[in-house]
Amino acid sequence: MIKKIIFFFSFFIMLSCDNEVPIDENFVIEAFLFQGEVVDDIKIIETKLWNSSDSTTSYIENANVKIYGNGYDYQLNYNPQIQRYITSDNIDVISGNTYGIEVTVKDRTATAETTVPTKPTGLKLSEDKVIIPPLFLSPALPNLLANLYESARTTISWDNPNDEYHYLTIKYVDDDQDLIFSEEFPDALGEFFNNFSLQSQPTKELSYSTLCLSLKNYGRYKVTLYKINKDYYSLFENQQQDGYELNEPPSNVINAFGVFSAFASDSIFFEISRE
């Protein structure tokens, strides 16, 4: 359910062979809470030696996982379809509140805490309707695409008085597939525009310009802006490490590895239309 962090990255633990804890007794927690959303992004992963040739992610299915918050504790259960731990309880993830996680695998228990950041403010669009006329293969198409490359955009902006990190995602929300580049177009042409990212990297900037030709369909799109707390950004900042130094990634988890973090969000919509 990458509805949230579509950007979401792979978390690799790089452990030296002489680590004090046997590799098969340790594990990795990837757990994320989203203000106003259901709790369904909790993964428990087996650790591997830094020089292992096995790059497959192995999920632990029999962990005992609990979330603590709002004066309650919630038991989570493993869902094999999405390879995550979920709960049927309604956990209110509230900005400003602190939540805890406790994970037990065999005889080893790990814990962590995180605080949900405040909701982003000032989210707006330069255009809530972007026109892309019907596209046909013709001698005039290159000039039309060149003009649309400059004009068929909307700029997403927000306030950031405290110089905090944000990122955003863009998701098509209509049911019908109404292609901007129909099947008559060569695959290479559509792929060229679809190479543009639809999710930003974490940034302290105040705006993000969206090339609407990089989106697949005419119709409505949902922009979700996430504010990131320090737990997550420290991990993102250090995800590319010098393999020769064998540094362990930053972690706010006690007695295991990984990250337990929280995000707050706001959303806005725009439309791509033929006229």
How far is residue 93's CA from residue 265's CA, in Å, rounded to a whole number?
11
Q: Is the pLDDT of residue 97 over 70?
A: yes
User: How sure is the predictor about 92, in pLDDT bands with cuts at 50, 70 and 90?
Assistant: very high
CB 81, CB 44: distance < 8 Å: no
Distances (CA, A) of 107 to 24, 101, 221, 255, 272: 12, 16, 47, 12, 54
Mean pLDDT of 190-199: 60
* Coil/strand/helix, residue 103: strand
Question: What pTM, to 2 d.p., does this model score?
Answer: 0.79
Give me the pLDDT at residue 69, please: 95
Q: Is the pLDDT of residue 19 over 50?
A: no
How far is residue 222's CA from residue 170's CA, in Å, rounded to a whole number?
6
Instruction: Tell me the pairing of strands 64-69 and 98-105.
Output: antiparallel
The one-letter amino acid code at 187 reads D
Considering only CA atoms, which of 120, 74, 69 is closest in space to residue 93?
69
pLDDT, one tens digit per residue, over 144-183 is 999 999 999 999 999 999 999 999 999 999 988 898 988 7
Q: Is the pLDDT of residue 11 over 70?
A: no
Considering only CA atoms, which of 103, 45, 46, 36 is closest in space to residue 76?
103
List 33's β-bridge partners, or say none: 262
As given in the structure block, the two tokens for residue 142 are: 């290159």
Distances (CA, A) of 254 to 14, 100, 106, 241: 17, 11, 16, 22
Considering only CA atoms, which of 78, 259, 274, 73 is closest in space to residue 180?
274
Helix H or strand E encompassing 194: helix 187-194
Q: Is the pLDDT of residue 141 over 50?
A: yes
CB 84, CB 39: distance < 8 Å: no
Which of the two residues, 70 and 25, has the higher pLDDT score? 70
CB atoms inside a 10 Å sphere around CB 16: 11
CB 239, CB 247: distance < 8 Å: no
**Mean of pLDDT over the chain:** 83
Give the DSSP letter of residue 210.
E
pLDDT, one tens digit per residue, over 221-233 is 999 999 998 777 7
Give the DSSP letter of residue 147.
H
